[in-house]
Structure 1
Amino acid sequence: MPRYTVIENYQSCYPDPIVLKRGEEVLYGEEDTQYPNWIFCQSLKSKKEGWVPKQILSSPNHLAHAKVLDDYSAHELTVTKGERLHGLKHLNDWTYCRTGSGKQGWIPSDHIAPIFNQ
Structure 2
Amino acid sequence: MTKLISITEHKSNYPTPITFSFGDTVTLGKLDTEYAGWIRVTTFDGNVGWAPIQYIDFEMGSSVGIATHNYSARELDTIVGEIVILIHELNDWFLVRNEQGLVGWLPAKTLTTV
TM-score (norm 1): 0.93
Letter of the 1:13 counterpart: N
Deviation of residue 62 (structure 1)?
A: 6.4
Tell me which residue corresponds to 2:20.
20
Tell me which residue corresponds to 1:36.
36
User: CA-to-partner distance for each residue in 1:2-48, whole Å, 9 max, x for gaps?
Assistant: 110000000011000001000000001111001011000001x2111
Give me the identity figure in percent: 31
Deviation of residue 59 (structure 1)?
A: 1.5
Q: How far apart are the structure 1 equivalents of 2:11 and 2:31?
A: 22
Query: What aligned pairs does 1:1-118 form with structure 2 within 5 A after superposition?
Result: 1-43=1-43, 45-60=44-59, 64-115=63-114
The residue matched to 2:57 in structure 1 has which SS? coil
Letter of the 2:30 counterpart: E
Structure 2 unaligned segments of length 5 or more: list them: none
Q: How far apart are the structure 2 equivalents of 1:47 and 1:64?
A: 15
Question: Paired residues, what number?
Answer: 114
TM-score (norm 2): 0.96
Q: How far apart are the structure 2 equivalents of 1:13 and 1:77?
A: 10
Moved over 2 A (4+): 60-63
